Amino acid sequence: MAPSVRLRRVGFAAVALASVFLLSACNPSGNVAESFSGLPVAEEAEPIDVDPEAGGEIDDASEEEVEGVEWDSDSGEPQVAWWEQGGQIVMVVFGSSTCPTVGQQIRTLEKAGEGNRVAIDLVQRPETEICTQDLVPHTTVFWTPTDVTTTEPLVVEVAGNELTIPIK
């Protein structure tokens, strides 16, 4: 085999291997996947057909529930649920629109089979920050850590609360 062909094959293999490592880094387990104001809505959610003649308005389309979760705006406490068939964990907190409670990272405290427990760290806000007194939802979506499972209840520690996500 000619040296140039051998060199091309080795080069191709090196590029392919490097691509695998780079792609695996694009979906880092335990990190924030996205953070936004509002409630999570499934991408597959069908638009609701609203009949304006029957008194409904175009804006009456409601956001789809996540795994049967009804988000409680009165508690002010973080709420969590499985998302994307368990590939992600969603946290919703109702609070100030100008100073939202935002998740920073998720850490495994106990692996699957040993407790299945994680902790969510929040972005620390300055105590001197002036915030509005409205009550709006803010969502942070995390990649599910690889060492926890959806086949056991998941205990989530966040902001001094201990929440449990049931088996998926």
The segments of the chain whose pLDDT lies below 70 read 1-30, 43-68
The C-alpha angle with vertex 98 and arms to 122 and 95, in degrees rounded to 5, equals 60
Residue 44 makes CB contacts below 8 A (sequence gap 6+) with none
**Which pLDDT score is estimated for 76?**
77
103-117 residues labelled b (16+ CB within 10 A) or e (exposed) = beebebeeebeeebb
- H/E run at residue 137: strand 136-143
Closest of 106, 128, 140, 110 to residue 33, by C-alpha: 140
Question: Whose structure tokens read 């368990």?
Answer: 86
Closest of 81, 80, 49 to residue 62, by C-alpha: 49
54-64 residues labelled b (16+ CB within 10 A) or e (exposed) = eeeeeeeeeee
**Cα distance between residue 157 and residue 148, in whole Å:** 14
**Which pLDDT score is estimated for 73?**
83
**Cα distance between residue 131 and residue 117, in whole Å:** 32
The amino acid sitting at 42 is: A
**Which pLDDT score is estimated for 25?**
43
